[in-house]
Amino acid sequence: LCFWQSGSSFHVFDQGQFAKEVLPKYFKHNNMASFVRQLNMYGFRKVVHIEQGGLVKPEKDDTEFQHPYFIRGQEHLLENIKRKVTSVSAIKHEDIKVRQDNVTKLLTDIQVMKGKQESMDSKLVAMK
């Protein structure tokens, strides 16, 4: 079902059987796509082999995954495998400044438009 390649990646050969028998033992689901999504969230990537200038189609239902810190015999590296988190603190300070400048400009434009509308309203009343 699943085995280590050279110690730097692992293969899932029969995704259907893997999802049915292995995933429920360790996850609350048996969905292979959800498992792959979880792997991606932790930085694992599907290995694509390129040989002789063209993509080599893998064996039927054979999927290989690797992570730079997931290496056989290097258990101390496992603590470096962490879920990728997007947080407010990850937003660059410059991006926040640009957004604030945009909001300030919009508010100024709205005030100017409001003033023009009030002026036009008073002129319309005077004309009536």
Residue bearing the bigger pLDDT, 1 or 73: 73
Domain residue limits, the chain:
2-84, 85-127
The H or E element containing residue 105 is helix 93-127
The H or E element containing residue 101 is helix 93-127
What is the CATH T-level fold of the domain 2-84, as seen in this structure? Arc Repressor Mutant, subunit A (1.10.10)
Q: pTM higher than 0.75 for the full model? A: no
Residue bearing the bigger pLDDT, 62 or 92: 62
Structure-token pair, residue 9: 């990646």
What are 64's strand-pairing partners?
Answer: 11
The string of pLDDT tens digits covering residues 28-72 is: 999 999 999 999 999 999 887 665 445 555 555 678 899 999 988
Q: What are the distances in angstroms from CA 49 to CA 39, 63, 66, 121?
A: 19, 11, 12, 70
Question: For residue 20, what pLDDT is reported?
Answer: 92
